[in-house]
Copies of this chain bind each other. A is one copy, B any other.
Amino acid sequence: MGNASFLHDLLHPKSIAIVGASNNPMKMGTMHALSILKDGFDGRLYPIHPTEATVLGQTAFKSVQDLPEPPDLAIFVLPSKHLPPYFEDFGKIGTKSAIIITAGFKETGNEGAQQELLLLETARKYGMRFIGPNCMGLINRAISLNTTVSPLMGPPGKLGFVSQSGTYVAQTIDYLEKRGIHFSKAVSVGNEADVNLIDVLEYLGEDEQTRAISLYIESIRDVRRFLEVAARITPHKPVIAQYIGGSVAGARAGQSHTGAMAGQNHLYDGLFRQTGVIRVDSVEDLYGIGWALANQPIIKGNRIGIITNSGGPGSAIADTLEAQGCTVPEFSEALREQIRPLMPSHAPCGNPVDMTFALDMKVMTETIPEMVMKSGEVDGVIIHGAMSSGFMKVIYPHVKEMLGDMPLDDFLKTTKRDLSESVRLPFKHEIPLIVSAFFDREDQYTREYEDNGVPVFDSPEKAARAMGKMVAYSGIRNRMRNKGPEISEPHPDAVRIISDALLNRQRTLDEFSAKRLLNAYGIPVTEEKLAADATGAADAAATIGFPVAVKACHPEILHKTEQGLVHLHLTDVEGVRDAVDAICKAYGQPVPILVSRMIPGSRELLVGLINDAQFGNCVAFGIGGIFTEALKDITYRVAPVSRVVAEEMIGDLKTRKLIGPHRGMPAVNTAALTDLIQRISIIGNIHKEIEEIDINPLLISGSAPVAVDALIVLK
C-alpha cells in the first residue's frame, strides 16, 4: 500500500537534516535536535546553520546544497517566512520526507493558508510528503527516534497515538511516565496540510509494534476515508478517540489553533459507532484506556471478578461496572469454598472478595486471582489494594524508631516480593486484569504491574471504567459486518416528481409528492388522496374509509399543525367538509387538500436524511413526534448504511425499550424498520438533488412502521 510505504519512510529515516537548531539550549529548534541526538536514534543528523561550524557537536552545513547526502528526512523549526526556500532546496536534492514544526500558517488566517498551499505545491512538485506545519513532530520507539521537544522516558510501549494537538504528544511525557504509559509511535499531525490523521491511523493499523491506537481529534476532514480506514482496523485492533469541538467555544478554540472547521458532536458520535471506534471524553481516558487495551488480552465476556482489601473501593468498582453493562456475578459455592480458607473469618468471598485489610499479598495478588481466573466464572478481574512499598514508605516515619532506626531500604525489603507470577496471570489465563491502587509508582506493586503490561488506575472507578471499555471493544470485535447496499437505479416516478418540482422552482416537495417519492422506493406511507376542494375531499374520505386526517398540502406550507391546517380523527363526511372549510379559512385562500387514512398507533419515530457540509449524506433515526426536540434521542450514520448498521442504529436508542413489546403493544417489526432506514440512507445517493428527508412521525401501527408525515427538501 502506497500510504504504508511513504509513512514507513517518514517514520524510519536513516539520515535527518534539521533547520532551526542552534547552540542555544532554550530555542525550540535546539530542543527538537537534542531529542534526536540524545534519545537513541542511530542515524545521521545534519544541522543546517548559516554561521556556526558545529551545532550540538555535529558538523553544521551552511546550506542544503552543502549536505554530503540528500537526507531521508528534513525537519523545519525556523520562522515561517524563512521556510519556503529551504523547503524547496530539500525537494531539489531529493529528500522525500519532511516535518514542519513551524507555526504561522493556516491557523492564523487566509494569508497563512495561502502560504500553506504553496508548501503543498512545492512538496507535490518534488514528490515529498510532510507532516505539519504547526506540529510537534513524531516519536517512533522502534528506532528510538524522537523529534519532539520533550525527552523520551521509559521503555517502548504498545500504544500508538495520533493527535491534532501537539501538546498531547510532547507535553505529557512526564505525566505518562508517572502512569507507566508508553507509546509505540506517536505523531502530532498539526495543520495536516499533507499527511493527516487518517494516514497515520491507517499506518498504525498495520504496525506490529502498535496494539491499540488512540486519536485526539478536533476535526476529520475526509469523513468517508476515515469511515473506510477505521472500520478496517477496529475488528482486529482497538481504536479509541476523544473528539473535541462540539461546543461553541470549543469550535472557536479549535478553529483558531488547527484551522479546521469543527464538526458536529452527534455526527461524530455516529461516525465512531459506525466504525467501531471507542469514544472517550477526557485525555486521561484516551491514554489510560488506550494503554489498557494495548496491553491486556481481549476480554471474552462481561463477567468481572473483584478482589479488594476494602469494602468501599470494592463497592465502587461493582457499581461502576454495572453502570456500564458489566456483571459482577456471585461466585459459586464451589469457588467460595476454595477461597474461604484463605480469608479472615466472616470476610465476604462471594464477589467482591473483600480481604479486609489483608497484608498477605501473595494470597491477594496471586492465589485468589488465579482461583477466580481458573473457575470459568469470570471474564476479567479487578484487584484493589495490592500494595507494598508505597504503604511502607507512608508508615515508615512512625515505626522507624521502634525498628532501631532501620534504614528505609531495609524496611522496604521486609515486604519485597517476587511479583512475576502475579503479573503473568492475565496472559497465562487470557483473562484481562486491571489494578486499582492509591499508591503510585513509588510502590513496588504499582511499578511492577505497570512495567509488565497490567494497567494500574489511581481510583476504583477508573479501573472499572477501563474494564467496561474492554468489554465494549470485545463487542466491537465480534459485531456483524456486511457491505453497504449497491446503489440502485432511480425510480421513474421519483425522477418525475423531482423534475416537476424543480421546474416549479420549488425548494420542497409537498407532503403528497414526498410520500409518493418515498413510496416509489418501498417506504410504507399512509393511504391518501389529494383533493381540490371539500367535495373532492369528502369523496376521497369515503373511498379511503374513516377515520381520516385532512391537511393543507402545498410545498410552501411547512408548519401545518401550528397554523391550524391539520384536522385529525374525522369520522364522517360532514366532519371532512367542515375541516376543509376551516383549513381554507385559516390559510386565507383555497389550497389543495390531502385526505389520509388515520391509522392507530402511539409510538412515533423519526427517520431522516441530512446533508452535512463535512459528513455528506447522513441518515438519522430516533424518537419522533412531540418528543423529537425534547428528547433528542436520535442517532446518525454516514449514508448509505448496511443492514447491520441500520440494526445498530435501532440498538443505539436510549429509549429502545419502546421497540420491544411494550405496554400491550407488540414488538416493532425491526426487519421492516431496518429495511426502511436502509432505503432512506440510499435515496440521497440516487437523487443528488435531495438535500434533506424528514419522516416524522414514522408511526408504528401495530408492529409496522408507516410514514405519516414526510418532508423532502431539494438543493
Check A354 for interface membership: any CB of B closer than 8 A.
yes
Q: A165-B313, A247-B319, A284-B461 are in contact. Are A626 and B348 (CB under 8 A)?
A: no
Contact of A356 among B23, B34, B103, B603 (CB under 8 A): B103
Beta-carbon contact of B283 and A23 below 8 Å: no
Beta-carbon contact of A283 and B323 below 8 Å: no
Interface residue tally of chain A, by bracket? 35 or more
Beta-carbon contact of A398 and B439 below 8 Å: no
Residue interface bits A616-630, CB-to-B below 8 A is 1, else 0: 000000000111011
Pick from A477-485, A535-543, A635-643, A659-667 the stretch touching chain B: A659-667
Check A3 for interface membership: any CB of B closer than 8 A.
no
Beta-carbon contact of A630 and B662 below 8 Å: yes
| Among A153, A242, A626, residue most surrounded by chain B Cβ atoms (within 10 Å) | A626
> Which B residues are CB-close (under 8 A) to A26?
399
Contact of A630 among B216, B218, B571, B656 (CB under 8 A): B656
| Among A164, A172, A395, residue most surrounded by chain B Cβ atoms (within 10 Å) | A395
Q: A252-B330, A459-B284, A627-B655 are in contact. Are A23 and B402 (CB under 8 A)?
A: yes
Residue interface bits A289-330, CB-to-B below 8 A is 1, else 0: 000000000000000001001111111101111110001101
Check A167 for interface membership: any CB of B closer than 8 A.
yes
Beta-carbon contact of B395 and A149 below 8 Å: yes
Cα separation A56 to B626 with both chains bound (whole Å)? 73
Cα separation A250 to B657 with both chains bound (whole Å)? 25
Beta-carbon contact of B348 and A311 below 8 Å: no
Q: What's the least CB distance linking A570 to chain B, in Å? A: 10
Beta-carbon contact of A171 and B322 below 8 Å: no
> Which B residues are CB-close (under 8 A) to A588?
none
Residue interface bits A104-121, CB-to-B below 8 A is 1, else 0: 100111001000000000
Beta-carbon contact of A250 and B348 below 8 Å: no
> Which B residues are CB-close (under 8 A) to A247?
318-319, 321-323, 328
Check A246 for interface membership: any CB of B closer than 8 A.
yes
Contact of A626 among B391, B403, B603 (CB under 8 A): B603
Residue interface bits A29-63, CB-to-B below 8 A is 1, else 0: 00100110010000000000000000010000000
Contact of A571 among B252, B399, B571 (CB under 8 A): B571
> Which B residues are CB-close (under 8 A) to A164?
312
Beta-carbon contact of B626 and A627 below 8 Å: no
Pick from A253-261, A334-342, A514-522 the stretch touching chain B: A253-261
| Among A168, A313, A351, residue most surrounded by chain B Cβ atoms (within 10 Å) | A313
Beta-carbon contact of B312 and A168 below 8 Å: yes
Check A380 for interface membership: any CB of B closer than 8 A.
no
Q: A318-B247, A631-B655 are in contact. Are A350 and B397 (CB under 8 A)?
A: no
Cα separation A403 to B34 with both chains bound (whole Å)? 13
> Which B residues are CB-close (under 8 A) to A203?
none
Beta-carbon contact of B662 and A626 below 8 Å: yes
Check A151 for interface membership: any CB of B closer than 8 A.
yes
> Which B residues are CB-close (under 8 A) to A257?
310-312, 314-315, 348, 354, 356
Q: What's the least CB distance linking A143 to chain B, in Å? A: 18
Cα separation A609 to B134 with both chains bound (whole Å)? 60
> Which B residues are CB-close (under 8 A) to A316?
242, 244, 250, 282-283
Q: A246-B319, A354-B253 are in contact. Are A310 and B348 (CB under 8 A)?
A: no
Beta-carbon contact of A284 and B458 below 8 Å: yes
Cα separation A39 to B625 with both chains bound (whole Å)? 65
Check A555 for interface membership: any CB of B closer than 8 A.
no
Cα separation A630 to B244 with both chains bound (whole Å)? 30
Pick from A122-130, A173-181, A365-373, A669-677 the stretch touching chain B: A173-181
> Which B residues are CB-close (under 8 A) to A462?
282, 284
Check A602 for interface membership: any CB of B closer than 8 A.
yes
Residue interface bits A446-464, CB-to-B below 8 A is 1, else 0: 0000000000001111100
Cα separation A330 to B255 with both chains bound (whole Å)? 14
> Which B residues are CB-close (under 8 A) to A487?
none
> Which B residues are CB-close (under 8 A) to A356?
103, 257
Cα separation A56 to B173 with both chains bound (whole Å)? 45
Cα separation A163 to B249 with both chains bound (whole Å)? 38
Beta-carbon contact of A664 and B249 below 8 Å: no
Beta-carbon contact of A250 and B173 below 8 Å: no
Check A346 for interface membership: any CB of B closer than 8 A.
yes
Contact of A310 among B35, B112, B171, B178 (CB under 8 A): B171
Which B-chain residue is minimally distant from A356 (CB atoms)? Answer: B103
Beta-carbon contact of B244 and A167 below 8 Å: no
> Which B residues are CB-close (under 8 A) to A310?
165-167, 171, 257
Beta-carbon contact of A315 and B399 below 8 Å: no
Check A503 for interface membership: any CB of B closer than 8 A.
no
> Which B residues are CB-close (under 8 A) to A665?
626
Check A438 for interface membership: any CB of B closer than 8 A.
yes
Cα separation A492 to B243 with both chains bound (whole Å)? 62
Check A394 for interface membership: any CB of B closer than 8 A.
yes
Check A20 for interface membership: any CB of B closer than 8 A.
no
Check A715 for interface membership: any CB of B closer than 8 A.
no
In addition to A25-B403, A174-B391, A630-B657, 10 A-B residue pairs with Cβ atoms within 8 Å of each other are A103-B356, A108-B346, A171-B438, A218-B315, A248-B328, A249-B330, A250-B316, A252-B330, A559-B664, A562-B663
Query: Which residues of A are at the interface with B, using a C-beta cutoff of 8 A?
Result: 23, 25-26, 28, 31, 34-35, 38, 56, 103-104, 107-109, 112, 149-151, 153, 163-168, 171-175, 178, 216, 218, 242, 244-250, 252-254, 256-258, 281-284, 306, 309-316, 318-323, 327-328, 330, 345-346, 348, 350-352, 354, 356-357, 385, 390-391, 393-395, 397-399, 402-403, 438-440, 458-462, 559, 561-562, 569, 571, 602-603, 625-627, 629-631, 654-658, 662-665
